[in-house]
Chain A
Amino acid sequence: MSTTAIREDRSSKGMARVSAALWRRAWLRATLTLTPPLAWFLVIYIASLVLMLVTAFWTVNPFTNVLEHSWTLANFNQLFTSPYPTIILRTVEMAAIVTVTDALIALPFAYYMARVASPRTRRLLFTAVLLPLWASYLARVYAWIVILQKGGTLSWTTSKLGLGAVNIGYTNTAMWIVFSYIWLPFMIVPLYGALERIPDSLLEASGDLGARAWRTLRTVVLPLALPGIIAGSIFTFSLTLGDFITPLLVGGASAQFIGNVIYSNIGTANNLPFAAMLAFVPIVIMTVYLLGARALGAFESL
């Protein structure tokens, strides 16, 4: 009996010693807690990303399609030859236009939601904004094909109204509309967050000091909403930058995006190194974009 008691006492003493040691050495505690998640992050996320980037320096045997692990910059040199600069420019341009469009639509909408609407209307509007996200992306894109194509809903409506048929199916305009529609919720939600946080007192103070509505909007609301706009723009910009399904389905003959070239290099050409190199491009663009966004304080309202 007594020996067992002693042993138990010893083991609990041992536990106490371990916990005391851990308590005294904060670095050890931190290391033990952080190692598993950090290792997971390193191996699964960072390492695979680095591996992909390393792949960009390899080539594929043109005949057998087998990876050749010899270092070369050939893939990167090809980036500066036609048609890739055009494709990159087209993608960035579309991402920028879609972002601006979404910001312009989302600003009054989010402002109404955050500051004007009754709680009940606000809930309704929130549901309306988020509801499309529950439907499949593909279903929504196909719906737009039906709307925009020749003899589709849009063209039918305009011709009934006597405005003549509008045929914008399979054009860059169609892509612009579909992208703007699909990513709009990602702009409204952060913008709503930013606008809701503006204290009423600031607006009242602005009014008390003699500013009219327009001036209050320009000098008080907009600067405070800017981080929200930038946070939203990160979504709309990066999502458009990486998309390849909308260009594939909605775009016309000149609708190649960076994503499409990556897709066809993985699929049709099975040229993984070239696809990996192309994946560099959005990463570089987004890094520049995020650094700029951070400088503007966008991450405060995420």
Chain B
Amino acid sequence: MQPMRVKGTGERMKPRRSRLVGVLIAAAATALVVVAFIPSGASASRANSALVAPEANAPVPSSVGKGEGKLNLIAWEGYVQPEWTKPFEKQTGCQVNVKYAGSSSEMVALMANGGGGQYDMVSASGDADLRLIYGGDVRPVNISLIPSWKDFQPFLQSPPFNTIGGKHYGVSFEFGPNVLLYSTKTFKTAPTSWSVLYNKKYAGEITVPDNPIQIADAALYLSKSDPKLGITDPYELTQPQFNATVALLKQEHPLVKKYWDLASQEISLFQSGTTVVGAAWPYQTNTLQADKVAVAETIPSEGATGWADTWMLATKAPDPNCSYKWMQWMTTPQIQAEDAISFGETPGNELACPIMDKLQKGSCEAYHANEPSSYFQSIKFWKTPLATCDNGKNDCVPFQDWVTAWTSIIG
């Protein structure tokens, strides 16, 4: 029978430990050698000075030539579905390869150095667009080569998040508003203000997205409820405005049941009746209503934020012709309608509405594709918060501080 050792003795381990130290030193040395070979400061502080789009004067083609045979995309999952890539490949001979990105920041990082000569296009959201444009990672396109562009909602033809100084850095794709979702059991009439999300009456029954850009939603509310702060653009906040917004969100924190990361989480929160009011996408409303859950959505009087995605062309795109063919394809009413239903968002192309209804009855109305322009005007689309405000002053809070502040709000 072997003796049982309950208390260990340190002595035995000594020689082994010194050898371990040797191994670690060797490993550290290896790593440092590796590190030394990595080019340092690849693009250090390239874009922080005066804001000029480095590629603004890059030449644009006057016609689309023969396809290069391939196309490498960075996209949100769900944007490159076989339903519309297969016919595209057949028609153009451009083989589509896609890398899915999980966040706007990941897209920006993947697109570093103009796509690195590897990627052609990215389906960037408004909160990444300006970072890509001012980082020199994307270049202007000749919008007249994309026939469907003229059928787009006017506010999506040259929006400030992808068109700078008359130059189009890609073509708008689809969009969606961030709506107020509520239980019709709790609210007999639609709430008229976002204030319900900050109301103690609904403590423990509120849910909001877990996303730093959510700060803009609170800023939008404050721009109306507290005019003294002087907030005119929820994405351009001076330090005092930003602090007031963060303070409001910190007050909201004890009232929030859960910060949702996945749309499915919010759906199950409302299904079980755990939450009765929250910030959501139309996708959640439609899924819940299809499931006979008593909910409805509204855009309160303050307006709403929203996301809008753009297919942007990488500065070093190796396959520009296939890229133009892709932009032409993805903006056609048919593909716009297919994506709108498959992904759960609103098409940019106005002609997509009847096709949507043909594919799925009532889907055009459900995703607001037929709303009047006043509806779209009430949406403040996501754009990258920059240190430089629109007025040229350098006193706005940049996106990185938004991320830090968000962690401190929900932490």
Contacts and interface: CB of A to CB of B under 8 A. Distances in A.
Interface of A: 42-43, 46-47, 49-51, 54, 61-70, 82-84, 86-87, 145, 149-152, 167, 169-170, 197, 199, 223-224, 226-227, 248-249, 251-254, 256, 261, 264, 267-271, 294-297, 299-300
A166 B6 CA distance: 44
A89 to B, nearest CB: 11
A268 B4 CA distance: 51
A68 B257 contact: no
Contact of B6 (A64, A167, A227, A252): A227
B40 interface: yes
Given A86-B411, A151-B272, A295-B8, 10 more contacts: A47-B27, A50-B28, A62-B399, A70-B44, A224-B4, A253-B257, A256-B411, A264-B210, A264-B407, A300-B4
Given A43-B30, A54-B31, A295-B10, A66 B109 contact: yes
A294 B17 CA distance: 13
Contact of B23 (A42, A51, A269): A42
B46 interface: yes
Interface string B397-411: 011100100011011
Contact of A84 (B13, B403, B411): B411
B90 to A, nearest CB: 35
Nearest to B128: A65
B57 interface: no
A20 B263 CA distance: 69
A295 B7 contact: yes
B360 interface: no
A16 B63 CA distance: 75
Given A83-B411, A300-B5, A248 B261 contact: yes
A43 B26 CA distance: 10
Interface of B: 1, 4-8, 10, 13, 23-24, 26-28, 30-32, 34-35, 38, 40-48, 102-103, 105-106, 108-109, 112-113, 131, 134-135, 137, 210-212, 253-254, 256-259, 261, 265, 268-269, 272-274, 386, 398-400, 403, 407-408, 410-411
Contact of B253 (A62, A253, A261): A253
A68 B47 CA distance: 13
24 contacts: A50-B27, A62-B400, A63-B47, A64-B46, A64-B112, A64-B135, A65-B108, A65-B109, A65-B131, A69-B40, A70-B44, A83-B408, A150-B273, A169-B274, A170-B274, A224-B6, A251-B258, A252-B258, A253-B253, A253-B258, A264-B210, A269-B103, A295-B10, A300-B5
Contact of B274 (A51, A54, A82, A150): A150
Given A51-B35, A63-B131, A297-B7, A83 B273 contact: no
A19 to B, nearest CB: 28
Contact of A47 (B30, B112, B268, B398): B30
Contacts of A253: 253-254, 256-259, 410
A42 B34 CA distance: 13
A80 to B, nearest CB: 13
Contacts of A294: 8, 13
A169 B28 CA distance: 46
A111 B30 CA distance: 48
A83 B38 CA distance: 33
Contact of A267 (B32, B41, B106, B256): B106
B403 A268 contact: yes
A64 B131 contact: yes
A50 B23 CA distance: 12
A38 to B, nearest CB: 8
A27 B411 CA distance: 54
Contacts of A86: 411
Given A63-B134, A170-B257, A46 B23 contact: yes
Nearest to B46: A64
A69 B38 contact: yes
Contacts of B269: 170
A64 B44 CA distance: 9
Contact of B408 (A46, A82, A199): A82
Contacts of B4: 197, 224, 300
